[in-house]
Amino acid sequence: MRKNDIYEIEITGMTHEAMGVGKADGMAVFVQGAIEGEKVIAKIIKVTRSYAVARVEDWLVKSPERREPFCPVYKRCGGCSLQHMTYDMQLKFKQRVVIDNLERIGGFKGINVNPVIGMDNPMNYRNKAQYPVGMGDNRPVAGFYARRSHDIIDSESCGIQHTSSEKVKNTVIDIIKKLNIPVYNEKTGEGILRHIITRVSYSTGDIMVILVVTKENVPGLDKLIKIIAGEIPEVKSIVLNINKRRDNVILGDAVKTVYGTDTITDKLGHLTFHISPLSFYQVNPVQTVKLYQKAVEFAGLSGDETVFDLYCGIGTISLFLAEKAREVIGVEVIPEAVEAADKNAKLNNIANATFYCGEAEEVVPELYKEGLKADVVVVDPPRKGCDEKLLDTMVKMQPKRIVYVSCNPSTLARDLKYLAANNYVIREVQPVDLFP
């Protein structure tokens, strides 16, 4: 098998990255853009010792689950990867990914994984957008990176972003053209504007605009602020984030509010939250409420429990839990997030939630040594999952229930394997689709 060879391939499965899987000349071939059940003519674009990668040249049999992507730049942009599937198939595909991880990494058999909780309207749901800025055709552009590259795909609109985010992005690009504000060049490190970030409150419509820049003194900044605020009255906050680094990290540490308020306010269910430029806040508010309600349901609270909420961020899950528990203790490593969690508790008149700043794997063993034990533990770790030291402390503490909220099924499966080896039993697995 060689690069550029053409094969007829029957697609018999899917990878976790949504590539079709088939065989040619006895070798596994991963086919970009193909769906299980299809028969395609594919061109080989990469060959290794154990597998090959191909792309579809034509279809001999198309899946009934195939649909035309709604985005005009879908094939070039790296933002979405499932638009060629019906939404029903997307949900079944994601359920399969969770099952496969539990079986392959966790070694579990016969675990009941519920159907994925999807969206009624899986469009324009994101409350946060991050647009890299650069030059394209001798003019400033902002959009999303092409697959496996840092080439910016310029697009007027994006079907998964809030329409306000698109309006802000297009307005800022128009203004910097007129004001000749130089955009950042990744290769030379020259220029000023690196990213345009928006945060939108779905409950109020208020917008925060974060301009990631290489220096605080931006030429024409006053005019830029005046025009943004004048043309988009929903903008209640404009913030400069200064990032002088020469790498791919989007945000720097220094933040300066140059217009309006330091935070915007949003609601999740009946609870209110202040959102700051650097705070973690789930990007899909509709599905976040379903996710948190499910976490509270699984916690099985009667009102007498002490609950630990680990990796608690700005206290979103903590405050949902606090309404049903005797006491909630939240642990978070980012000081600004802990400060925000305290403020959010006061904002919602919740007095039974206390927040500690530090690594969960350091704070929880200390609390345990002091005699503080949890009846229920809720964890919502980053993609790398839980530290083994934390898992060990949880096992020693022996909470009646552990509710694990995961954004990465592979590290979830690894951590569940550890807990299952220490007398915990998986009762229920419920995927929720936050990223249609």
Residues acting as catalytic residues: 407
The SS3 of residue 22 is: strand
Could you tell me how far CA 133 lies from the centroid of its own chain?
Answer: 20
The SS3 of residue 369 is: helix
Distance between CA 252 and CA 193 in Å, rounded? 13
The SS3 of residue 113 is: strand
Residues sharing a CB contact under 8 Å with residue 217, sequence separation 6 or more, in sequence order: none
Phi-psi region of 71 (alpha: psi -120 to 50; beta: other; left: phi over 0): beta
Could you tell me how far CA 20 lies from the centroid of its own chain?
Answer: 24
End-to-end CA distance of the chain: 36
Residues sharing a CB contact under 8 Å with residue 330, sequence separation 6 or more, in sequence order: 308, 309, 310, 312, 315, 318, 338, 341, 353, 354, 355, 356
- Can you state the percent helix, strand and coil of the chain, rounding each to 5? 25, 30, 45
Contact between residue 330 and residue 360 where contact means Cβ atoms under 8 Å apart: no
Amino acid code (one letter) for 251:
L
Two tokens at 264?
């915007």
Provide the b/e sequence for 368-390 (b: ≥16 CB within 10 Å): beeeeebbbbbbbbeeebbbeeb
